[in-house]
Chains A and B, each alone.
Chain A
Amino acid sequence: MSASQSAVRSRAEAVQVSRTFDWMILFTLFFAVLGGYHIHYMLTGGDWDFWSDWKDRRLWVTVAPIVSITFPAAVQSCLWWRYRLPFGAVVSVLALLLGEWINRYLNFWGWTYFPVNFCFPSNLIPGAIILDVVLMLSGSMTLTAIVGGLAYGLIFYPGNWPIIAPLHVPVEYNGMMMTLADLQGYHYVRTGTPEYIRMVEKGTLRTFGKDVAPVSAFFSGFVCIIIYFLWHFFGKWFSKTDFIEGDI
């Protein structure tokens, strides 16, 4: 195939080829993001996402949004600046959640027999939708970082509460009060995860009484803003065309 020759012979064929490209790129993007995002999220959010007895009002609420806004920011930057496509966050989170569910279902439940109601992943989709819509409406990275990033952190806990609330019902067990989630962690033995490495309900937010979740969520939202900026630039750098020869 010489460079002077056109690859397609008619407009109809061009349209068809372009569409084929769309699907192939989308497929590749989806699974490449899935792989990278999944590893990143497991290494940084890890146990907070794995176990119901780590999903607390302080640290889970803070950590999960901060470490999960990364790939959405980067993919958004690539898809928006090059193609004006505002689905970078949603496609990333859909890919991640597919990977997480495969992992939890096949490995945690299928292979090791931890009940799914103990090791289900966190829900990140509400925040991703907001992030994409803010980017589409504003077309501005700064606004998306500030408004979208903050919203991403804020909506995380309420977006997950309907899923975890049933597990926070208290129970009296052999003379001690605990939540059903705590009991799951006690019952379903994890040899490699002793109780003391569980980082929950730690921190200095004691002055806020029992309303720590909103405070943690705000804090998380603020950090999300910074992380969004950072990863947006990663995405921009990554989607440069300097790596490829020729004009694009």
Chain B
Amino acid sequence: MKIIKNRVAKLSFVALLTTLSAAMLHAPTASAHGEKSQAAFMRMRTIHWFDLNWSKDEVAVNETMTISGKFHVFAGWPETVDKPEVSFLNIGIPGPVFIRAGSWIGGQLVPRSVSLELGETYEFKVLLKARRPGDWHIHTMMNVEGGGPIIGPGKWVTITGSMGDFVNNITTLTGETINLETYGLDNIYFWHAFWYALGLAWLAFWIRRPLFVPRHIAITSGKADSLISGTDKKIGIGFAVGTIAIVATSMGMTAEKYPVTTPLQAGLMRGIQSLEMPETTVSVKVEDATYRVPGRAMQMTLTITNDGDAPVRLGEFMTASVRFLDSDVAEDETGYPDDLLAEEGLTVSDNSPLAPGETRTVEVTASDAAWEVYRLADLIYDPDSRFAGLLFFYNEEGDRQMVQVDAPLIPSFI
């Protein structure tokens, strides 16, 4: 007897453990720092985020901030990733530390998925309202169906205050103003508690009598029919009829209380306005490109032709959110994240102004620890060893032109 008891006790313990582990199994993703683990070619050849601006470094709970800028959908989108025909402008934050109060592409609110065109540039803005205090790394992010999340640069923002003060007031079309943070909670708890109690009552009705051993004996000795009495049946009918009656009544009550309800809204949004970019008058041909593993530098030979009417200089090479600047030509004034900014990371063998009509072949080196830190160097292990990025040329007035490059990359290990 004792042995059996111990066994059952052991079994119960195992069951309890299973339960706990099952309950722990699913927690919604809380981390937003996947950027480094994403394949380098994904970050280089899909969406290029630029001209970004995080409006604040510190916000109090209930205050808002924006992240705005542009993104270029790369024309040389990799074969292995689905085209951004169904994409969702997301935001990379660790859970709802902010609420997304609004997000726009080309001035259009985009609460749903959109269709993006390759080769186009779009303007975007995300409005965030601070909810949970802490230091959070906030990334721009685009989810592409069949391609996964494409994470842009991240910047640290501090939220101060107390989450208890957070309110999310919304006025419905029926004229009511509610706090979405706690709206309907009592109703949810009430109905769940109510039905749980009813379920427990049914269970209690049965388990107050001797259960397994005597009933099993009764069945094996042919007295199964005696186990469900007339009263049991009557009470059972009561439970069933009661259940149906309660469901029907509560439906009626709900219809009276909420006469206006609509179905969930879904569906792809098309025709998103892209940004009219100034015409490019500079053309670039990549003669060759190598990545020097020991030097953490990428070297490319570019033949640049200026077909415009003003002299230009190369100011920036940007790839996978890392910006390599030639400080003589361009400077960052937006407070771009330090770890992604190589202020003097770009060296051009001859960066004197390129006159209109002139063609010049130059050696361009982009070097920074970011190649390693952001695991861009892993590119050489990708199935399609190419690199891609954006080049920004500036004229004397500071006007900028954007040219994209996309070419094979040869690694050099010595």
Which residues does A use to contact B, with CB under 8 Å? 1, 7-8, 15, 17-22, 24-28, 31-32, 34-36, 38-39, 42, 50, 53, 55-57, 82-87, 90-91, 93-94, 97, 99, 101-103, 106-108, 111-117, 120-121, 123, 125-126, 128-130, 132-134, 136-137, 139, 155, 158-159, 161-163, 165-184, 186-198, 200-202, 210
* B183: contacting residue among A136, A161, A173, A180, CB under 8 A: A180
Q: How far is the CB of B222 from chain A (nearest CB, A)?
A: 12
Residues of B within 8 A of A117 (CB): 180, 182-185, 188
A20-B5, A192-B28 are contacts. A165–B254 as well, Cβ < 8 Å? yes
Residues of B within 8 A of A136 (CB): 228, 232-233, 236
Assembled-state Cα–Cα distance A114/B227 (Å): 47
Assembled-state Cα–Cα distance A188/B264 (Å): 16
Assembled-state Cα–Cα distance A32/B26 (Å): 18
Residues of A within 8 A of B86 (CB): 196
Residues of A within 8 A of B90 (CB): 189, 191, 194
Contact string against A for B residues 197-217, beta-carbon threshold 8 Å, 1 for contact and 0 otherwise: 011101100110011111110
Residues of A within 8 A of B8 (CB): 21, 24-25, 28
Interface of A is mostly: helix
* B199: contacting residue among A15, A94, A116, A169, CB under 8 A: A94
Q: Are A191 and B266 in contact (CB under 8 A)?
A: no
Q: Are A120 and B91 in contact (CB under 8 A)?
A: no
Q: How far is the CB of A203 from chain B (nearest CB, A)?
A: 11
Chain A, residue nearest B186 (CB): A117
Chain B, residue nearest A27 (CB): B12
Q: Are B261 and A168 in contact (CB under 8 A)?
A: yes
Q: Are B212 and A25 in contact (CB under 8 A)?
A: yes
Q: Are A125 and B199 in contact (CB under 8 A)?
A: yes
Task: Say if the beta carbon of B168 comes within 8 Å of chain A.
Answer: yes
Q: Are A57 and B200 in contact (CB under 8 A)?
A: no
Q: Are B30 and A111 in contact (CB under 8 A)?
A: yes
Q: Are A162 and B254 in contact (CB under 8 A)?
A: yes
Q: How far is the CB of A45 from chain B (nearest CB, A)?
A: 12
Task: Say if the beta carbon of B39 comes within 8 Å of chain A.
Answer: no
Q: How far is the CB of A47 from chain B (nearest CB, A)?
A: 10
A42-B25, A83-B219 are contacts. A201–B141 as well, Cβ < 8 Å? no
Would you list which residues of chain B between 74 and 124 have a CB under 8 Å from chain A?
86-88, 90-102, 109, 111-113
A112-B30, A132-B202 are contacts. A19–B210 as well, Cβ < 8 Å? yes
Assembled-state Cα–Cα distance A21/B206 (Å): 15
Chain B, residue nearest A14 (CB): B213
* A194: contacting residue among B149, B213, B266, CB under 8 A: B149
Chain B, residue nearest A181 (CB): B264
Chain A, residue nearest B220 (CB): A248
Q: Are B188 and A179 in contact (CB under 8 A)?
A: no
Residues of B within 8 A of A113 (CB): 95-97, 131-132, 163
Assembled-state Cα–Cα distance A200/B87 (Å): 17
Which of B16-24, B314-322, B325-333, B371-379 participates in binding chain A? B16-24
* A171: contacting residue among B91, B170, B264, CB under 8 A: B170
A97-B196, A192-B29 are contacts. A187–B180 as well, Cβ < 8 Å? yes
A27-B12, A112-B28, A192-B28 are contacts. A133–B22 as well, Cβ < 8 Å? no
Q: Are B28 and A107 in contact (CB under 8 A)?
A: yes
B contacts with A, residue count (CB < 8 A): 117
Q: Are A102 and B258 in contact (CB under 8 A)?
A: no
Assembled-state Cα–Cα distance A218/B19 (Å): 33
Residues of B within 8 A of A102 (CB): 23
Chain B, residue nearest A196 (CB): B113
List 23 A–B pairs whose Cβ atoms lie within 8 Å, in order of A's numbering: A22-B210, A25-B211, A31-B12, A53-B264, A83-B227, A87-B203, A112-B28, A113-B97, A121-B192, A126-B195, A126-B243, A130-B243, A179-B264, A180-B170, A186-B100, A189-B93, A191-B94, A191-B95, A195-B111, A195-B113, A196-B86, A196-B113, A210-B263
Q: How far is the CB of B126 from chain A (nearest CB, A)?
A: 10
Q: Are B149 and A120 in contact (CB under 8 A)?
A: no
Q: Which 3 A-B pairs have the closest CB atoms?
A: A194-B143, A35-B18, A7-B1
Residues of A within 8 A of B141 (CB): 191
Chain B, residue nearest A163 (CB): B191
Task: Say if the beta carbon of B248 comes within 8 Å of chain A.
Answer: yes
Chain B, residue nearest A171 (CB): B172
* B228: contacting residue among A86, A90, A97, A189, CB under 8 A: A86
Residues of A within 8 A of B334 (CB): none
Chain B, residue nearest A39 (CB): B22
A84-B227, A168-B258 are contacts. A26–B207 as well, Cβ < 8 Å? yes
Q: How far is the CB of A115 from chain B (nearest CB, A)?
A: 6
Chain B, residue nearest A168 (CB): B261
User: Which of B21, B109, B141, B262 has its CB near the most chain A CB atoms (within 10 A)?
Assistant: B262
Residues of B within 8 A of A103 (CB): 23-24, 26
User: Which of B163, B202, B207 has its CB near the most chain A CB atoms (within 10 A)?
Assistant: B202
* A133: contacting residue among B26, B28, B240, CB under 8 A: B240
Q: Are B172 and A137 in contact (CB under 8 A)?
A: no
Q: Are A84 and B215 in contact (CB under 8 A)?
A: yes
Task: Say if the beta carbon of B3 comes within 8 Å of chain A.
Answer: yes
Task: Say if the beta carbon of B145 comes within 8 Å of chain A.
Answer: yes
Assembled-state Cα–Cα distance A65/B147 (Å): 31
Assembled-state Cα–Cα distance A114/B257 (Å): 26
A83-B216, A161-B251 are contacts. A129–B263 as well, Cβ < 8 Å? no
